[in-house]
Amino acid sequence: MRTYWGFLLLAVCLVYSCKDKTETSVKEVVQEELLAEAEPQMLYGFNLDEFTVQADTVRSGDSFGELMLQHKVEYPKITTLAEQYRDTFDIRKIRVGKPYVILKSRDTSETAQVFIYQNDAINYTVVDFRDSVVAYRKQREITLREREVAGEITEGGALSLVLDEQGVDFQVTLDLSQVYAWTVDFSKLDVGDKFRIIFDEKYIQDSLYAGAGRIKAAYFEHKGTPLYAFAYHNDSLDIMEYYDDEAENLRRTFLSMPIKFGRLSSRYNLKRRIRYYGYKVRPHRGTDYAAPIGTPILATADGVVTESTRRGGNGKYVKIRHNETYSTQYLHMKAQNVKRGDYVRQGDVIGWVGMTGNTGGPHVCYRFWKNGRQVDPLRQELPKAEPLAEASQPAYFDYIKPLKLQLDCIAYPEQPAAEEQEDLITYNTDQNALTKD
């Protein structure tokens, strides 16, 4: 009998003990959930619990003014924004497809308090209509991850295709072409040209890709000639420049071509004969680069625009005086982007490729003057920019030493062996035969 009551008492104690533990466990979970719910939901620095949130994208036909009026923003505030904050946020230039968020008051009026426009994955603009109107730009916090890539130009290949096969952002192609713009003509790469690149990739919240960062270092082997490039801050000029492994500036006073990508379609030729004109000698004093209509045309060096007009067979063109020795001219433009008297910097867009004047296809005719006489720009020994100051070179060489070693250690992607390629061709041929049958 005592044994029975002893077991019963023990069972009751165990039940109540388990019950207490269960209740304690549930209570802890509930408290954690309450605490989680109590934490404010933040977006772009705003506590979303304080607003009614509406997220959308700019649609075709939307205008900022009408959008704000629909959300009960007073017209004078819209006017103030347009007049006083145009440099920060030009309300005329919101683009279709761009996301935005409107934070509205939580009362019955649901008046727009804050408008947030996502310029790109990283940058956004905030317009605060509370009290007086304020507009400012901010960036989402980003993480940089270093990446290494290498590749080789193959038959029929291009730099962009080789990088694309490795999942590299097209911006890296553009940036690399700018790094070597003065030493490599990327419209005429050779099979077997090789490259190695070290650059950063940007990520938001450590997981969302947000674009490519600056190229830190690069190696390009063109026509068997090795070309190193290292990004380095020139303290004397307070700018970031690219220098080679001898501290020479990669930049030249002139770009090698007036477009980023295009095809050299006709060279400077004083003995050119054209069938249409009965094979008479008609000198061609320009260098033609074929490219699609609308391709940006770049100033090949700093200078002052002396002409921006349209005339005869030249069509729409721009002429730039760079100094007492050199001038350049850019013909057959679709439209100009500069006017006479403008000062332009090397790489500025001065117009777009077109077909105005005498031309059989879209291209830019690039003309080059030296001491008042037109010459062939591809045969000129163009002066280099100043090398890194001698006093800065010891620190520079210390800086690039590990980067150069890192570049040299990047392996090129393995190419299939000859036997594997033959097997692949045979396999593809067999597969085609099977498909035909």
- Residue 123 sits in the same domain as residue 186: no
Is 365 contained in some domain? Answer: yes
pLDDT digits 0-9 by tens, 170-214 = 999 989 988 987 777 777 788 999 999 999 999 987 888 988 999
CATH number, domain containing residue 313:
2.70.70.10
* Under 8 Å between Cβ of 234 and 251: no
**Rounded distance between C-alpha atoms, residue 363 and residue 383, angstroms:** 27
Instruction: Count other C-beta atoms under 10 Å from residue 283's C-beta.
Output: 11
Binned at pLDDT 50, 70 and 90, residue 385 comes out as confident
- Residue 4 sits in the same domain as residue 64: no
Arithmetic mean of pLDDT, 379-395:
82
Q: Is the pLDDT of residue 391 over 50?
A: yes
Spatial CB neighbours of 76, under 8 Å, sequence gap ≥ 6: none
Last residue of a domain, one of 379, 396, 428: 379
Is 314 contained in some domain? Answer: yes
Q: Is the pLDDT of residue 428 over 80?
A: no
- Residue 274 sits in the same domain as residue 362: yes
Q: Is the pLDDT of residue 226 over 90?
A: yes
The domain in which residue 425 lies consists of 141-251+386-437
- Residue 181 sits in the same domain as residue 131: no
Residue whose token pair is 């590299």 = 168
* Under 8 Å between Cβ of 282 and 296: no
pLDDT digits 0-9 by tens, 412-421 = 987 655 454 4
- Residue 396 sits in the same domain as residue 367: no
Query: Among residues of the chain, what percentage have pLDDT more than 90?
Result: 49
Q: Which pLDDT score, from 0 to 100, does residue 251 have?
A: 79
pLDDT digits 0-9 by tens, 130-171 = 988 999 999 888 899 999 999 999 876 688 889 999 999 999
> What string of H, E and C letters represents the secondary structure of the chain?
CHHHHHHHHHHHHHHHHHHHHHHHHHHHHHHHHHHHHHCCCEECCEEHHHCEEEEEECCCCCCHHHHHHHCCCCHHHHHHHHHHCCCCCCHHHCCCCCEEEEEECCCCCCCEEEEEEECCCCEEEEEECCCCCEEEEEECCEEEEEEEEEEECCCCCCHHHHHHCCCCCHHHHHHHHHHCCCCCCCCCCCCCCEEEEEEEEEEECCCEEEEEEEEEEEEEEECCEEEEEEEEEECCCCEEEEECCCCCECCECCCCCCCCCCEEEECCECCCEEHHHCCEECCECCEEEECCCCCEEECCCCEEEEEEEEEHHHEEEEEEECCCCEEEEEEEEEEECCCCCCEECCCCEEEEEECCCCCCCCEEEEEEEECCEEECHHHCCCCECCCCCHHHHHHHHHHHHHHHHHHHCCCCCCCCCHHHHHHHHHHHHHHHHHHHC
- Residue 134 sits in the same domain as residue 146: no
Q: Is the pLDDT of residue 284 over 80?
A: no
- Residue 236 sits in the same domain as residue 182: yes
Q: Which residues of 242-253 are buried (b: 16+ CB within 10 A; e: fewer)?
A: bbbbebebbbbb
pLDDT digits 0-9 by tens, 233-255 = 887 777 888 999 999 888 777 88
- Residue 347 sits in the same domain as residue 398: no
| Closest by CA position to 230, among listed 190, 188, 257, 196 | 196
Is 257 contained in some domain? Answer: no
Q: Which pLDDT score, from 0 to 100, does residue 413 have?
A: 87
**Rounded distance between C-alpha atoms, residue 394 and residue 399, angstroms:** 9
Total of domains in the chain: 4
- Residue 153 sits in the same domain as residue 236: yes
- Residue 224 sits in the same domain as residue 293: no
Q: Which pLDDT score, from 0 to 100, does residue 424 have?
A: 45
- Who has greater pLDDT, 271 or 316? 316
Q: Provide the CA 209 distance to its chain's centre, in angstroms.
A: 13
Q: Which pLDDT score, from 0 to 100, does residue 147 have?
A: 96
Is 359 contained in some domain? Answer: yes
pLDDT digits 0-9 by tens, 31-87 = 554 445 556 788 888 988 899 999 999 999 999 999 999 999 999 999 999 999 999
CATH number, domain containing residue 120:
3.10.450.350
- Residue 125 sits in the same domain as residue 167: no
Arithmetic mean of pLDDT, 211-233:
93
Residue whose token pair is 């960062």 = 213
Q: Which pLDDT score, from 0 to 100, does residue 177 have?
A: 86
| Mean pLDDT taken over the chain | 82
Q: Is 230 exposed, middle or buried (0-12, 13-18, 19+ CB in 10 A)?
A: buried
Is 258 contained in some domain? Answer: no
pLDDT digits 0-9 by tens, 91-133 = 988 999 999 999 999 988 899 999 999 998 889 999 999 988 9
Q: Which residues of 92-124 are buried (b: 16+ CB within 10 A; e: fewer)?
A: eebeeeeebbbbbeeeeeeebbbbbbbeeebeb
**Rounded to 5 degrees, what are φ and ψ at 327?**
-140, 155
- Residue 167 sits in the same domain as residue 213: yes
